Amino acid sequence: MSEMRYEAPKTLAAAVALLAAASGGARILAGGTDLLIQLRTGRIEPSLLVDIKGIPEMTSIVADSSGFRLGAAVTLMQLTEHQALAQEWPGVIDGIKFIGSIQVKGRATLGGNLCNASPAADSVPALIAAGAVASIIGPAGRRETPVAEIATGPGRTTLTPGEIVTALLLPRQARHSGDAYLRFTPRTEMDIAVVGAAVHLTLDERGICSQARVALGAVASRALLVPEAAAAVIGTRVDGPALACLAEAARAASQPIDDKRGTREFRLRIVGVMAQRAAEIALDRARRNS
């Protein structure tokens, strides 16, 4: 039987070196709430686990004038308890709060949610709508990439072997801006998104939408940024007809599959509803944010 080694490096450099030396047989371990399940079912059989929770740069939250730097291994519970973050990016917190239970959130991380690359990951659409950027380190050094460009399909990412996402970077929230994330699940909690929709929008002084981003989850092989849906509300008061166009654009951009969690047809119906409802919440938050 094969053996599995466990390492808990204290620095990013050590983590990068461990991963480089393992040449492919290694896995990064954050909260383990996805990884342990994959280990137990035998879907993955790594020879090395590199636990990144002991690396200070990855387990801290930094807020300054340029925005928020969220360590990729900070637990989701810690994120939900960060007052300033919740104040400025309530939609990102909406996404985080949906993930699992309090116990799951006590372990799980944003880095894990992103890099596990499930199309239904709940924090990802909100991060994409917020314009978040992933900070990455690897054998070739550091780089930054928009969150929207990390996942390519279920379990697949653009990360090259040995690369670690160290942090998620969020800008400061602009005035008259708001964000929101909603998902549809048959149960109210402890469920996987059948459809997820995140909307970020900014209003000008007259209440006209000047900027918007719409991101959808669980309706394609990865979370989608849908500029057509954003275009439907930009330049409008985000009123009924504009919202109907946004919903229609969200439907048009979706390429869902049939699976045990929902049919293609149902997902196409619901994605418009969720996108519209998320936009209504984001609008309300933008109006209050003066």
Ligand X SMILES: Cc1cc2nc3c(=O)[nH]c(=O)nc-3n(C[C@H](O)[C@H](O)[C@H](O)COP(=O)(O)OP(=O)(O)OC[C@H]3O[C@@H](n4cnc5c(N)ncnc54)[C@H](O)[C@@H]3O)c2cc1C
Q: Which two tokens stand for residue 46?
A: 């790594």
Instruction: Find the binder of another protein among 270, 281, 283, 286 (CB under 8 A).
Output: 270
Question: Pick from another protein, ligand X, none: which does 32 bind, CB < 5 to 8 A by kind?
Answer: ligand X
Query: Using the rule CB under 8 A, which residue among 64, 187, 205, 288 binds another protein?
Result: 187
* CA atoms of 12 and 175, how far apart (whole Å): 36
Residue 88 or 94 having the CB closest to another protein: 94
Selection from another protein, ligand X, none that 278 binds (CB < 5 to 8 A by kind) is: none
Rounded-to-integer distance, Cα 221 and Cα 88, Å: 29
Contact flag: residue 263 with another protein (CB under 8 A): yes
Applying CB under 8 A, the span of 60-68, 223-231, 268-276, 281-289 interacting with another protein comes to 268-276
Residue position matching structure tokens 């048959």: 186
287: alpha, beta or left? (left if phi > 0; alpha if psi -120 to 50): alpha
Query: Binders of another protein among 123-182, rule CB under 8 A?
Result: none
Q: Which is nearer to another protein, 67 or 262 (CB)?
A: 262
Pairing of strands 5-7, 48-51: parallel
**Residue 266 CB, nearest distance to another protein (Å)?**
4
Residues 54-93 that bind another protein (CB under 8 A): none
260 binds another protein (CB under 8 A): yes
Residue 127 CA to chain centroid, in angstroms?
Answer: 5
For the chain, give the number of residues.
290
| Rounded Cα distance, 217 and 205, in Å | 31
Residue from the set 65, 83, 188, 290 that interacts with another protein by CB under 8 A: 188
3-state SS of the chain: helix, strand, coil percent to 5? Answer: 35, 25, 35
Q: Which residues bind another protein (CB under 8 A)?
A: 1, 184, 186-192, 260-263, 265-266, 269-270, 273
